[in-house]
Structure 1
């Protein structure tokens, strides 16, 4: 039973990861796969349990079920990918929410049904086998099966999938099922006496089993949903939460079998469960403080960060799940005493559990908020207590929390800040926060910053750079929205039609706060609430330019947007001569994870190149571009004739040298940088498992990571344009020197102190490349600020700027202004 439990939860982790590829989000996949799992378990237990209980050959049933699980697990190893492609097309590029969730739940249920139904029958079959030998203990069987499930969750998430990949991990689970079938065949006799049938009058216990299954998984779904705003929301976060939930359930069942059977009443267990759920809910308000207290006592490392998340899981789950495990054992015993049989007991419990993800995760949580939903769970347990006096104290505590406790919404507010908007969705909580200076920031689950009102320059450059590299784009696609400024800036071009795809409708709504500041408002921007992977596969439209947002690689489901398979699907969506640009957040990526992403990209685009969105050292953003071979004359004409209301020069792209000067790596350098790093694929999602490590424990400052990267890549003008260009090579040399200077700058509000640090170095940069405007502009601004205080020094600096760049008029005009 331990081995069977290991395999069952190993499958669940694998199938959840695979389900995210067509459902679009790991949270959605968790809800759909959990519902499908419990639905199949319920159907198997209800349909097959009574037949097994009446059978004289329970060994055949058990071994047959394990063989069926193994066979269907093998089928899914080869069949999951084509099913995912078909399901993505069935859902469509922009489905209505009702249709999307219907296909998600029913599709997952149908896909997994042969295996999950057989899983639902294994526990009743094993119960019959040990009962025939006089060693009957439903609770101990449940405990050992659940203990195996804990091992399966932890081993799969922390070792097997990162090292082996999904298919080989599923193959191990297949082998474990075969082992279980063979072991049962060897250990147990071929036949056993059929027990006398009961009177099947256990309607009350069965209904309570259904209700407790619904409430128990509802509690799990809601707690996971809340803690995603406090924990880092990675694959490891979910594994830890699930493991603690299972450990508590197993210990509760074992404790009932060892100490509580015949001593604890049903009412006492229900009251204890309601009370512990209230305590677990109360711990959520202190989750931030608890996590900080644990991590502050440990060295900064992934192990320390994981320990902090484990503490959150223990506080929220351990006591409630102990009571859940004991209560399930009690109710199953009552059902058996009433003649219902263990199969029906398990079936009713898992049927309720199958309904919970849809009811609590999709419907109630967005409607009522997590706080009220969690208190409804506790109230549900109290409603089943037969003696009201027992329930009085926890009922009073629940009422107090309803009236006086704040919402379970975590939004970090800066001093003097305010919440502009907050929305709880089915998959995430989305907030817009404004600080005392009026700077607004968009956050998902309070952990992931999606941009701010001060990042318009860089956000717009992430649209303009790839669009200007195409000679005449007419239709562009943006995957991921964030604040919406990138896509909206592109859509300000009246000659361009722009589609923007965003998974979370709450992000689309929140983006209006940022895009309404654009003048004029974009006219040809079409917002589409859809999954980016699915949209790319299902859409019929081809695009001249596709720009993919810099998704946080460690967050739920984002790693699948950096796979070989996704990059290949994007290539099929490009029109002839089309260009694809994948932005990457270097401040959220370690170089080893970056190598895997680059390896995946060049596997599809062997002539790929790389550029920087800006010269930022704090938040460097790298762009992978699908090809090289640009014509400088065409690019100059493209910049000069651009139809945006603000010219590209306002965004630091004044000519072809500023545009081509953004590149940092050519095809040869990118392939060399990738080396033999493992490619990120749908089967081996190395990014999803490797990227969280830098989230938990950063290995370097972003600026150091950027400089290290630039030291390992290179580019030549010939690679990029097909011709030699000393002027472009000088621009790249100037940029490298500029970034080196930036690492040593000590920011100061005093312009004289800044000039003391920067005047000579930046003038040297300009002597290397007079085209390098990022060195010219700050010196010009500082000279103008210095004019009223020290006009002589200001005139001297402006004179040097005018000599270095005689074609520009700004320095000469500033000199005239100071003279006046």
Structure 2
């Protein structure tokens, strides 16, 4: 009974210990990702140091604890030390980061030495806790075994199971519960507190044991140790130490290989990574549980572990064709699930299920090996020190596996073949162990195991083939298991150290795209075909520095992508040096296939590829630039969101010269307004002066100035070749850049206030945790675009943004939302003057043409009739929102001051006249008149007009109050008219934006200018 109570107590403590241990591994990956850059590098280092430290810790304990009597007390002290270090990790890391970026790396001019410094110091940062964590298993195991020496297999299997089960739960809790709630600092402190709690529990158990044993004298350390190992035990020990090292190496080749493979089907998010990690550890846990329940019946443990090794290799081979089916399963899930919170929860469960199908079988057998190797040597009389030696050898093998697969196997043979080679190593090891037991015997089991391995290998090679179009499909986003159609080809597909890069090509029109782990990063067409939306963004990212900086001599670009941004920058003779920082060499190799579209990026001697992490590269040698263009991958990709934080923007600012500018790309698709707001808040905190542009329909560029912002200059358009390239994508003149401008830093700050968000931080990774969900739910952040295209002069009043007039000859392109709105507005204005919709309007927008025809037809009715008037108000609201906000006063005021599209009799009606005067005031941008005339309309019975018009009138009145300097009137207007005017909800977010502006100390544009017109 005493032993049972002790066992349950120790197993419970070891669950908590494992739980805390994997919290450390998870948060260390986040922390070191901020130092080393890409999440894959951070995860590799954490795995290596985590396992290596544990190996050293286990080895040290196995050497030193031989004569220790109170091992459970020693275990308690180790857990206490782990907890204390955990509590202090955040300030230690902050100090280390500041010293590295501000002192150490700037003093190191050599990239190789900088990397050596980073990897060495980052390793030292987590090594102390790793050493201590490595000591826990041998201390707990040996301490428990001294109480019940006859239950070795049950004890070792049970401890391995409970520790691994706790670890799996810890990995999930860290990502899905703790990080969202308390960020990195709170999460690592939680782990520290758990270690201290475990230490207190272990101390209590130790005291209880002392009392039971009358001070512990009845069980000295020596009784648990074999006095002399036999020659056979020594020989067996050498074999099994080698075997556990090989087994550990293969297991971690599997883990990294499976993660890399499944990233292509599940998406490379922090959520999918932790689910995969949990699936792997869960397999290890249940392998330990299997041994716990069956160890007593093992009469030939070496033979048993030989079969286990073979089965592990076979299961790993089977995982390859299982992975090949994962694309179809993900596609089926996305087709079947609703894009909602519940749908995302089910998708995550499905992701976990797929990870279990791929990983669990081989991991299950891997979980058996460590307790089996240890039990075998204990029963051979090796003594308790063998626990630490086996554990150390296994973890040293794991380190070798991590380094081998990342830096040798994947670059040479690819991810899938790396997994298969590791499987063959496990099978070979198993067959060796089976023959090592009795070389003279060739049993039927050995023959069967060999034959089965050969059959499964052949089947895996055949069934594990994945159609390249599947690997490029990005099924986790689109739900489609193939990219393009049958004519689509994949001329380039290669596994790099951090990601799998593919280039795909489709016909009609000829288009090529480049993708990372299945996620498209850029798509280009030929110069003869219409451009893609990506081309507009990339070329504008290259154009903006040339047009807004007076002398952009030294330019840095974060992210190679297709190479088109760098190519555009080099179309001007002004830059003398363009450094493009890309962490994955294979991306650079793949983008070469874009040929002459990006030729300058590869051929111009001013272009320099820097294969490095951005933070490391900029810190090394204290580099300074005139312009930094940041075009990383989407922030939902694991590790990328750290390039959209207040800390990173502050870091970028320190590497800009005094008149330098930062050009930051940010997409609005697959994000919501709050996530966009938190990233914009981070940038605005560091750069008080910024301009916001919409390049196409969903991509933004934020141009942040360290000094005073400069006006557009015509320099880039004077270069003949570059000018021709710019004209093709609708950027052929400065007006076409200005057309895409949304607003200034003040607009960004008010959007942040309205969104009620805090700046995105390295230590509170909100975006990486929430963006995978918004991606799944297909959310889009559209508010900033709506400020321009809502149809009312919102930005004219608050930002002095004047729309381009009819005289401006700007290109209308399918990829520019604002240019299309402007073109349609001009045609609608023309239709209102002529009394009919033109053929051109019908061709450009059939919906708009029908709306205009309907509004014109209603205008011929007798509008004194209440029913006809109400129908007319809805039609008039459509005409207003289609013209007033999109065109300047000189091009739109006559439509409302002298509306030829409306009969003279209708214009004389008081209710119609009131509406026209309110819209005329809005068209004239006259704040006082807007406020007064809109309130007249709002004073009419609410059921006399369409709700769309009442909303417009409320916004016009609020704009008038703001423009008149009476911001205090807005809450009263909202209270008086907002409830009744909120039926259609088209302008609810605009009203929230105006309320945020009214509640801030910032003055709106027109309130700072003299008024040129008065209210009627």
For the aligned pair, the TM-score class normalised by the smaller chain equals 0.7 to 0.9
Q: In structure 1, what is the equivalent of residue 371 of structure 2?
A: 329
Residue from 24, 40, 44 that aligns with 1:31? 44
**CA distance in 2: counterparts of 1:713 and 1:142, whole angstroms:** 66
**CA distance in 2: counterparts of 1:354 and 1:735, whole angstroms:** 52
Residues 489 and 504 in structure 2, CA contact (< 8 A), matched pair in contact too: yes
Q: In structure 2, what is the equivalent of residue 394 of structure 1?
A: 452
Residues 842 and 848 in structure 2, CA contact (< 8 A), matched pair in contact too: no
SS class of match (2:331) = helix
The structure-2 alpha-carbon separation of the partners of 1:405 and 1:101, relative to structure 1 and needing over 3 Å to count, comes to farther
**CA distance in 2: counterparts of 1:714 and 1:357, whole angstroms:** 59
Q: In structure 1, what is the equivalent of residue 723 of structure 2?
A: 646
Residue from 380, 403, 422 that aligns with 2:493? 422
Q: Does 1:357 align with 2:418?
A: no
SS class of match (1:646) = helix
Residue from 412, 420, 428 that aligns with 1:375? 420
User: When the two structures are superposed, what TM-score results if normalisation uses the length of structure 2?
Assistant: 0.69
SS class of match (1:426) = coil
Residue from 489, 494, 512 that aligns with 1:440? 512
Q: In structure 2, what is the equivalent of residue 120 of structure 1?
A: 134
Residues 602 and 671 in structure 1, CA contact (< 8 A), matched pair in contact too: yes
Q: CA deviation at 1:55?
A: 0.8
The structure-2 alpha-carbon separation of the partners of 1:428 and 1:636, relative to structure 1 and needing over 3 Å to count, comes to closer
The count of aligned residue pairs is 757
Q: CA deviation at 1:641?
A: 4.9
| Residues 296-349 of structure 1: CA deviation (Å, up to 9, x unaligned) | 444333213212321221111111111111222211211222315211121111
**CA distance in 1: counterparts of 2:792 and 2:62, whole angstroms:** 63
1:263-662 superposed matches below 5 A: 263=298, 265-300=304-339, 301-338=343-380, 339=382, 340-384=385-429, 385=431, 386-387=434-435, 388-401=446-459, 404=462, 410-412=471-473, 413-415=483-485, 416-437=487-508, 438-453=510-525, 454-455=531-532, 456-497=535-576, 498-514=578-594, 516-517=596-597, 522-549=604-631, 551-613=633-695, 616-617=696-697, 619-626=698-705, 630=709, 635-638=712-715, 641=718, 645-646=722-723, 651-662=729-740
Residues 291 and 311 in structure 1, CA contact (< 8 A), matched pair in contact too: no
Q: In structure 1, what is the equivalent of residue 833 of structure 2?
A: none
Residues 656 and 706 in structure 2, CA contact (< 8 A), matched pair in contact too: no
Residue from 12, 33, 37 that aligns with 1:20? 33
Q: Does 1:43 align with 2:56?
A: yes
Residues 499 and 525 in structure 1, CA contact (< 8 A), matched pair in contact too: yes
Residues 62 and 184 in structure 1, CA contact (< 8 A), matched pair in contact too: yes
Bigger shift: residues 512-521 or 476-485: 512-521
| Residues 36-64 of structure 1: CA deviation (Å, up to 9, x unaligned) | 10000100001112322431121331122
**CA distance in 1: counterparts of 2:83 and 2:326, whole angstroms:** 40
Identify which of structures 1 and 2 has the higher relative contact order when contacts are C-alpha pairs closer than 8 Å and 6+ apart.
Answer: 1
Larger Rg: 2
The structure-2 alpha-carbon separation of the partners of 1:580 and 1:417, relative to structure 1 and needing over 3 Å to count, comes to same
The structure-2 alpha-carbon separation of the partners of 1:125 and 1:681, relative to structure 1 and needing over 3 Å to count, comes to same
Q: In structure 1, what is the equivalent of residue 83 of structure 2?
A: 70
The structure-2 alpha-carbon separation of the partners of 1:655 and 1:293, relative to structure 1 and needing over 3 Å to count, comes to closer
User: When the two structures are superposed, what TM-score results if normalisation uses the length of structure 1?
Assistant: 0.84
Residues 628 and 666 in structure 1, CA contact (< 8 A), matched pair in contact too: no
Q: In structure 1, what is the equivalent of residue 750 of structure 2?
A: 672
**CA distance in 1: counterparts of 2:464 and 2:112, whole angstroms:** 31
1:179-258 superposed matches below 5 A: 179-188=197-206, 189-190=209-210, 191=216, 192-194=219-221, 195-198=223-226, 199=229, 201=234, 202-258=237-293
Q: CA deviation at 1:172?
A: 0.7
**CA distance in 2: counterparts of 1:494 and 1:261, whole angstroms:** 78
Residues 665 and 699 in structure 2, CA contact (< 8 A), matched pair in contact too: no
Residues 620 and 703 in structure 1, CA contact (< 8 A), matched pair in contact too: no
**CA distance in 2: counterparts of 1:589 and 1:369, whole angstroms:** 33
| Residues 147-202 of structure 1: CA deviation (Å, up to 9, x unaligned) | 11111101101111122111111111111111111111112235442134231622
State the superposition RMSD in angstroms. Answer: 3.5
**CA distance in 2: counterparts of 1:103 and 1:518, whole angstroms:** 35
Q: CA deviation at 1:704?
A: 7.9
Residues 33 and 105 in structure 1, CA contact (< 8 A), matched pair in contact too: no
Residues 146 and 249 in structure 1, CA contact (< 8 A), matched pair in contact too: yes
Residues 321 and 460 in structure 2, CA contact (< 8 A), matched pair in contact too: no
Bigger shift: residues 560-569 or 710-719: 710-719
| Residues 730-759 of structure 1: CA deviation (Å, up to 9, x unaligned) | 999x9869449989x9xxxx9996246289
The structure-2 alpha-carbon separation of the partners of 1:448 and 1:231, relative to structure 1 and needing over 3 Å to count, comes to farther
1:74-113 superposed matches below 5 A: 74-84=87-97, 106-113=120-127
Residues 537 and 699 in structure 2, CA contact (< 8 A), matched pair in contact too: no
Q: In structure 2, what is the equivalent of residue 130 of structure 1?
A: 144
The structure-2 alpha-carbon separation of the partners of 1:219 and 1:693, relative to structure 1 and needing over 3 Å to count, comes to same
Residues 52 and 61 in structure 1, CA contact (< 8 A), matched pair in contact too: no
**CA distance in 2: counterparts of 1:74 and 1:275, whole angstroms:** 43
Residues 639 and 654 in structure 1, CA contact (< 8 A), matched pair in contact too: no
Bigger shift: residues 649-658 or 208-217: 649-658
| Residues 648-685 of structure 1: CA deviation (Å, up to 9, x unaligned) | 55553455443333221222221121123132111111
**CA distance in 2: counterparts of 1:267 and 1:221, whole angstroms:** 24
SS class of match (1:322) = helix
Bigger shift: residues 684-693 or 288-297: 288-297
**CA distance in 1: counterparts of 2:757 and 2:805, whole angstroms:** 29
Q: CA deviation at 1:430?
A: 0.8
Bigger shift: residues 375-384 or 450-459: 450-459
1:755-794 superposed matches below 5 A: 755=844, 757=846, 768=887
**CA distance in 2: counterparts of 1:325 and 1:261, whole angstroms:** 17
Residues 554 and 627 in structure 2, CA contact (< 8 A), matched pair in contact too: yes
